[in-house]
Structures are given as C-alpha cells and as structure tokens.
Amino acid sequence: MKIYFACAIAGGRGHAHLYPDLVSHLNKHGEVLTEIFSDNDIFEKDRKLADHKIFNRDMTWINESNVIIAEVSTPSLGVGFEIATALNQGKKVLCLFKNQDDRKLSAMIAGNKNLNIKRYNTIEEVKQHIDEFFLSIK
C-alpha cells in the first residue's frame, strides 16, 4: 500500500506537532511516500526548490499512491488541490480534522460525500480512525 500523507506546509504548520506521530502510525499500513512532509524543516527544504519541481514531485507521489490521508485542520490550498486530484483519480481519501472552537471545516470538504471525514480530539482517536479506514478498504 502506498500512502500519500497530505498536510499544510506553506499554509501554516499549526498542527505540525502531530504529523510525525501520524506518519509513524501510517507506516504500519504501508509506505508513506510523503514522510518528508512531517519534517519540521520541510518549508525550508522546499524553499530551495523551484515551484514547478515541487508540483511535479508531489503529483508523481499522488499518481503513485493508492490512498490519500489528509490532515485538514490547518486550511491549505495545496491540500485541497491534492484531495481534488486524488478524487478525480478515483482514490480513497481520509480527511482528519481536529475539533477546534475557533475553526470550521471548509464546506468544500465537509460537504463532499466522496470523502471519508473524521473529527478528532486526541492522537489516539486519529490512530483509531486511520486503522478503521484501512480495514474498510481491504
């Protein structure tokens, strides 16, 4: 199983502290093609690359992946684009949204019946949602 983990990078890293644990758990279910996204230095590393190189790299990973797991708590144009691309390719997508009093999940995500959306409060809940997702697609 090849997994594309999508998360906010340029749009903000407000939930980046969760990403290493998420990627570690995802590795139990397959190969995470985008493990680099959980790196705290990803923004600085990507800054050294031309935009078209980042786009081509990420599109290659999306094309190679079997599923997309998207942490959508921090709004991100890139993550929205990645989700839409995956859906257009017929891939299963799990969106994870941390419950927050000051944020509402975008209607373009929340209202899409083709997405599997799970809300969470704790990292343990996220891991349970991930495990259930992979069980449901086998």
pLDDT in tens, 59-105: 999 999 999 999 999 888 999 999 999 999 999 999 999 998 788 89
Selected residue with higher pLDDT from 13 and 41: 41
Instruction: Determine the pLDDT at residue 12.
Output: 67
Q: What is the mean pLDDT of the chain?
A: 91
Selected residue with higher pLDDT from 19 and 119: 119
Selected residue with higher pLDDT from 103 and 25: 25
Structural domains for the chain: 2-136 (3.40.50.450)
How many other CB atoms are found less than 10 A from the CB of residue 99?
A: 12
For residue 138, what pLDDT band results from cuts at 50, 70 and 90? confident
- Over residues 107-125, mean pLDDT: 95
- Over residues 12-40, mean pLDDT: 86
39 DSSP 8-state letter: S
3-state secondary structure 3-19: EEEECCCCCCCCCHHHH
Instruction: Determine the pLDDT at residue 8.
Output: 85
Instruction: Determine the pLDDT at residue 43.
Output: 67
CB-CB contact of 8 with 76 (8 Å): yes
Q: How far apart are the C-alpha atoms of 94 and 67, rounded to whole Å? A: 8
